[in-house]
Structures are given as structure tokens and as C-alpha cells.
Structure 1
Amino acid sequence: MPPLSSVQRAAVASFVSITGASEKSATRYLKNTGYKLNEAVDSYFQSNAGASSTTKDTQLTKLFDDAEEDPKDSLGADSSMAYLTSIGVDLEGASLFLAMELVQAPTIGEITRTGFVNGWKAQPAAEAKIESQKQIFKRLAESLGKDRDLFRRVYRYAFVVGREGDQRALSLDNAILYWELLFKKPGMLWIGDTTGTDWLAEWITFLRENWTRSVSRDMWNQTYEFALKSMADEALSFWSEDGAWPGVIDDFVAWYKRKSSEMDVDA
């Protein structure tokens, strides 16, 4: 067998780190997938799907216990942030919400035992090792801005985890902060595909000038749908007065078109 290239050796090392398998097994799975790491890892865990669920529960529970400061069923703010930092989460970026969705956290400053165990069990490579979870999380973060289904899930969960106490809506200040985190790398950039219109900046400017109310779940979710369409159609020709958009988006479109017309006249 010819010696492995540096790229192939790196793939083997990553495979071993993620799965805990031997180098021999890693080489075999990678060779079968043309050294495509993600496909090889998925194939490995599908082949070993018969592993005891109870064992995984026990291992993940122990890892959770190692992360908590007090003997209880949830990590407080300090323990949560320490754990998230240990697996490579940027606490000031979109990856924070990716992590919150992964472990189904009830609030930004809390991680429950149930959410932690079930969230990691749902991952194909759910090994109870910090380094393994760090590698998995890195893969998820790298795909966040490209995988629309993943981003939509994380975006919608940000509303759930970002509310304060028993509030049913987000304060405008918090909503704007979360949009600024989500709509930048590693999240999805809210920028026009053709002329590069910075829709996020326009949206925030409009809200700060014209919106004084809180942000409901419907407004939050519809903003994402509007973002997708506005990136592809910067003329906003998809919008009509008879559409089902929330009133705030109707007002934004009118505001933006009026602003654009005034700029054309000045030019």
C-alpha cells in the first residue's frame, strides 16, 4: 500500500478524533469514501448504530456532571459558558445560537441535563468527549451559513432561547442584537446577491427610526423569509400590497422604496 499523503493523514487524524476508532478503521472508511471526511464519519456511525443507547446516555451524563459546579440537573450561566467555550463556541457570534439549538437550552444562560444528553445523542458522532464534540461543533458551524435548513432551525430557536423570563416576545434591542449575530459569519449574510445591498443595515435603520414595539414570533420568523427573498430579488418585486407579510415589513418596503427614489433624484 502506498504511503498516505499529508491531506490523507490529516483526514485519518480527524476521523480518529471524532469517532475514537483505530487508525486502521479510519483508513478503511476514508478509503471507501474517497477520503471525504464527513461521508466517512457518517458511514462509520451508521455501521455502528447498534451501539448501546444506554451506554451513550451514561457517558454523556457523566460528561454533563463533569461540567457542572453543583449536583443538579442544569448548568448555570458560568458552567454553561465554560462548557460552550471548551467546545469552541464563539459566545459573541451566531454559533452561540447553534449551540443553544443543539442542546435545546431553555435560556441562553442554562443547559439542562436532558437537553444536553438528547441533543448530543441526536448527532451521528455523539461521543462523550470534549475533543470529539469540539470537532462535531466545528463542522456544524462551518455549514451554518450554507445549510439553509440548519440555519432556519437555529434562527427560529434563537427566538425561543432569547426571550427573557416568561415574555412572549423579544424586546426590540435584543431582537436587533440577535439579528446582528445571526446575519453575519458563520451565519447567513443578509446581503443582496446581485448588487450587494446590505439589507440587514437597512432593516435595522428602519426599525430604529420607525418601530417602538417588541418583536413577536411571527415578525421574527417572517423577517427570515423576507431576508431570503430580498437577497435573490433586490428590486423587491416579489412583494405586493395584497401579500401576507406582517405590516412592519410592508412599512419597510415602502420606506426603502421611498428612500431609493429620493437617492435617484439626488443623483
Structure 2
Amino acid sequence: MIYSHKRNTTLGIQAQLVNPCGNSAMPVKKKRKSSGSDDPGLRKCKITCFCRPQAPGRLISPEDQFSNKKCLAWFYEYTGPDEVLGPEGMEKFCEDIGVEPENIIMLVIAWKLEAPNMGFFTKEEWLKGMTLLQCDCIERLQGKLDYLRNHLNDTIIFKNIYRYAFDFARDKDQRSLDMDTAKSMLALLLGRTWPLFPVFNQFLEQSKYKVMNKDQWYNVLEFSRTVSTDLSNYDEDGAWPVLLDEFVEWQKARLAAL
């Protein structure tokens, strides 16, 4: 609007200097060559640069949109009349997406669905989690597997998954994990990243412990992240569970005997 107002004002002044017959009412000075800033063409370019149209966004076709109906139909392919995806359906689900049931990615999927019980997904959990992932078919979930695997490389997200695993894996009438389940879950979560895991697992096998409580479980992760493999920086006066104190003593005695 600023540019339009300037142009109208200039035209009005020119009209006052020209008589109705078209002759000049006063001598007309020779026009100076206009500078680049007054050139109409350049002025038009300036206006255009402020009004450059935005490229239209890509339209999402109906086929690309997440469908609740399609997602539920996919869920019912694995369920029985009780509308719960159980162990048998879980086996077929794993086969369809090309993931072994023991693969850690299945734990990540369960975490995304906020499923409290190992081996079971309810309709509500399925719909909530798959909506979050925007997956309503096998192919879409397969396309998200790398994204889900990358969660394991994020320190904070991995800690959340690790803590989730304790309640996910334990019997709901027990407050602790039985030791066999604890060892299996630790192998799944830490076996590929913690150099001391094989030794720690050996310690658990010969120890008196039959269960692992939540405090012990949480501290094993902290131990694996902060204590060096030679145990030289382990603080015996720190607030570690007795389980880990005993592991350090056992491992040092074992190394001394070599």
C-alpha cells in the first residue's frame, strides 16, 4: 500500500503541470536518467520479493492418512473373541513384521503401547500406541522399526525403557523379578553394551539371590554406566545395593586368583 500511495501522489502533481490541451503550462525540464532505485522495473522487483508466494504443501491423500478403522481391523487379525492379543497372536504378529519374539524391538513396541503385561496387548493399548506411531498396517510398522531401534541409543529414552522392563516382566502378584527372568531381561537390555555383563551374569548364577528387587534393578543400569570395567572407580562407601557390593568383592577376588 505504501508503494501505491507514492505513485498516486506523483500522478497528481503531473496533472497540475499539464494543461487540458496536452501542452506544457511551463517549460519542461529535461528528465534526468533515473537512478536504479527509482526504476519502476526494479521497484516492481522489490515489491515482488516481499510478496513471494509460498510453495504449496504436499497434499495428503486418503491412502496416506492413518485410519483407526484399518488399525483395529489389523488388531483383530491377531485376537480371539476376548479382544486381547495374546501369546498365539503375538507369535503371528512377530512373524508378520519380521521380528523374533525375543528381539529387543518387541520390548520397545510394548513400551510404546504402554502394555503392562508381557505377551498381551489390549485393544485400547494397541489403538493408543499405534495411533502415536501412525501405524495401521504391517508395512507402516516395518517402516518404523529403525526409528524404534534408535530409541535404544538415546540415554534418557533407554533408561525409561529399562525401568519399564522391570514391571513389564515381573509377575503382577510379586514385587520383585525372579532371578531367571531378571537375567534374561538384563541380557536383552545390557548384554550388547555392557562389557562386564557376562561376568555379572556368572556372579548371579552362583549367588544366593533368587529374586531382584526394583532398587537393585535400577542400580545395575547405573553401575553399568558409571563404573569402569576394572572396578577401580567403584566407591565402596557409596549408596550401592549390597548385591553390587558383593559382586565387586567377588570379581576382585576372582581377578586376584588369576
- TM-score exceeds 0.5: yes
Which residue pairs with 2:144 in the alignment?
136
- Asked whether the equivalents of residues 97 and 157 of structure 1 are also in contact (C-alpha less than 8 Å), the reply is no
Distance 1:85 1:148, change over 3 A: farther
Whole-angstrom CA distance in 2 between matches of 1:105 and 1:83: 15
Distance 1:56 1:237, change over 3 A: farther
Which letter maps to 2:76?
Answer: D
Compute the displacement of 1:56 (Å): 4.4
Compute the displacement of 1:244 (Å): 1.1
- Asked whether the equivalents of residues 64 and 113 of structure 1 are also in contact (C-alpha less than 8 Å), the reply is yes
Query: Structure 2, unaligned stretches of length 5 or more?
Result: 1-57
Distance 1:114 1:48, change over 3 A: farther
Distance 1:148 1:203, change over 3 A: same
Deviations for 1:179-219, whole angstroms, at most 9, x for unmatched residues? 122234xxx4212xxxxxxx111101111112333111111
Deviations for 1:66-117, whole angstroms, at most 9, x for unmatched residues? 33232x3321210122113322322123223222212222222211111111
Distance 1:75 1:161, change over 3 A: same
Which letter maps to 2:85?
Answer: L
1:92 matched to 2:102? The reply is yes
Whole-angstrom CA distance in 1 between matches of 2:59 and 2:168: 33
Compute the displacement of 1:144 (Å): 4.7
Identity %: 26
- Asked whether the equivalents of residues 81 and 109 of structure 1 are also in contact (C-alpha less than 8 Å), the reply is no
Compute the displacement of 1:122 (Å): 2.2
Q: 2:252 aligns with which of 228, 247, 257?
A: 257
Which residue pairs with 1:169 in the alignment?
176
Aligned positions, number: 198
Which residue pairs with 2:78 in the alignment?
67
Which residue pairs with 2:89 in the alignment?
79
Compute the displacement of 1:156 (Å): 1.7
SS of structure 2 residue aligned to 1:89: coil
- Asked whether the equivalents of residues 103 and 115 of structure 1 are also in contact (C-alpha less than 8 Å), the reply is yes
Query: Structure 1, unaligned stretches of length 5 or more?
Result: 1-46, 192-198
Question: TM-score, normalising length from structure 1?
Answer: 0.66
Deviations for 1:213-263, whole angstroms, at most 9, x for unmatched residues? 311111111111111123xx2232432122111110011111112222222
Larger radius of gyration: 2
